[in-house]
Every structure is written in structure tokens, then in C-alpha cells.
Amino acid sequence: MVEENSEQEARLRESVKRVIKMKLQLGLYDNPVPGEKYVSMVGNDKDKETALNMAQESVLLKNDDDVLPLPKGASVFLTGHSADNVGYLCGGWTLI
């Protein structure tokens, strides 16, 4: 944690200033929210199909003790504080 009025705080402030200055120079704050005209360009059926294909092709499951493939009708138990939160399970990029 950075102590108030410390040398660390001063360094942090200077670093943040440099980052914000560079973002301004690059125009990253010019249009922070895409316009409504772009909404129809993303999330269409082709995009969803591509995203699903990419996800299916990129998942790695370790097969320790030869438990995969699971038998038909098998159940999987998910536990934890976010086990029932689709947003967390999908990394926040879930299309609903």
C-alpha cells in the first residue's frame, strides 16, 4: 500500500500522469463508448458462431487418470463463490 505523501505516492502519481498523457496523445479518450451504429456490426449470428468455435477449439482439459470422456449422462459438480455466476464463469464476455 502506498503511504500518503510518500516518495512512492509521488512516483505513482508521475507514472499515472505519463500513462494518461500517452492515452490522450493516442486518442483513446476521444470516443470511449462506441456509437450505436456499431452495435449491429458485432454480436450477430456469425460472430456468435465464430466465438463458440474458438472457445471449443481452445479449451484444454487435463485427462489425469483417464476420466475423460465423461460417460453419457454424467454430472459435474461446480463449487465456489462464483459457481453459479455465468459472468464470472465466462470471463465477463458472456453474450446473453
Residue 94, pLDDT score: 52
Asked if 88 and 82 touch (Cβ cutoff 8 Å), the reply is: yes
Q: What is the DSSP track for 14-62?
A: HHHHHHHHHHHHTTTTSSSS--GGGGGGSSSHHHHHHHHHHHHHH----
Query: How do the pLDDT tens digits run along the chain, 96 residues long?
Result: 556 678 888 899 999 999 999 999 998 888 767 677 777 777 788 888 888 888 888 877 889 999 889 999 999 888 888 888 777 767 655 554
Centroid of chain to Cα 57: 18
Asked if 70 and 76 touch (Cβ cutoff 8 Å), the reply is: yes
Residue 21, pLDDT score: 95
**pTM of the full predicted structure?**
0.34
Q: Which residue has the cell 460472430?
A: 47
